[in-house]
Chains A and B, each alone.
Chain A
């Protein structure tokens, strides 16, 4: 177990290093940072002085070290567009994303797990049909289109829910469904297929033969063993969550870090984008690490894989 943990953490550090080096390289390819402040009155002396001040006269590896050590201390420079520290802007927007992530989590589990179990148990019935419909659409519907169609139906035509601007609880409904559709669908498919496998196993048949009630067999014996399956895929789900967050926040004008990323892209605000990439990667890696540890506790096979 200890060896497993050490390995995972080392890999995590390696990844962070690779990403930061990549981001740094990209930021240098993007252009000389001094050109951002270029205007008519700049002389060669001022230009050189800036270079010295920003450390641009040193070799690139040294520049990277300086940049990285600042980044570790939470100093990612100033946003070009908002004229303030990148970290300040990011931490101002982070809560909205976390809140939406939380409701999405509840929604996907709440829809995906019960429907997955039911469509496995009642295979071939109407419930299964609904489940499979959600599964297919979740995989194939473009998330931005789901969002727009929800706005069209519930805000424009029925006038029931707000279409944009974060506000009360009702403003969470449409973004949550938009972001959660894919995850509900993925969870549903994973739960369904692992339930189908488990229901076919000997110990379930034994429980049935002993006369255990149907509900007990399904929820206690089978589901408990099928529940780990979606966890093993949560790495993929997390990747989808990053993409989904950017898209959903863009559709609904949600004031979170996904929207901030796309704004940074459209405004060519590279320091901001670099900070967001590092943050997303960090969150993503930590998420994966937590899942791996939980899995290793549940399932000993993972530790030796």
Chain B
């Protein structure tokens, strides 16, 4: 009996040293995400002008021949940008060293500021990821928990549905969903095609993301149900509701949180992939995948417009890394055994 406090004290003091470097990574990840998100939100009012295609269209039309060099000044004037945020009228497309914050990451083939396209694009990508995670958590958890708790034929039927959906080719499913949902959603959003398009993409990615979550949760519920402490609670006279609320759900939080943080980067990648293929987000709405796709088109062997592909990809990679680190840390934080 007297041995135990000694051993637990020992366990408490040992892991102090190797923790520091991980904390830097975790804080760095959090800071990186916060910086990206706040920058995206802060510049949203500016960037909405900078990728506004109608304004651009007017600017192009301003020059009857639609010259290869777009009149940035006309574009700026048309989109109503203030003098402070407008680059010099001489800023040509595909240039990097122009003037002001809008040129920090260079310009694209239409002379649009990459920075002001990247930041809202980042927000779009992140929203796709978060909505997929939200759908996965809500639908996947409910589905998996019900199947695991009900057991028997209900479980069998529910998991076969999941298997069935798993078996369908993903890209095909997204296309089918897009086709099926585009029309009604456009009507629902009173003709706002771009909004409807994003919502369809959210639904398509979210509609596939909950499948794995349902499986994870069901497996967890099954293993938790067989745990000794559930039987102990039953022996003490606990009803099914008490067991669910006090034992099953709290023990599900860890795996669900960790898996949800994995869904976010997954969905972002899927969105990027779909946009890259051209069935995701459509121009002119930016997203990280869309920007990367545009960048790839612009890169050729003679002139390396490298910034068009490097910056979106770097933002994507940094975000995915940050989310993975945070998810890893979250798992540790939610495990009481790591609390010394």
Partners in one complex: no
Q: Which residues of A contact B (CB under 8 A)?
A: none
Q: Which residues of B contact A (CB under 8 A)?
A: none
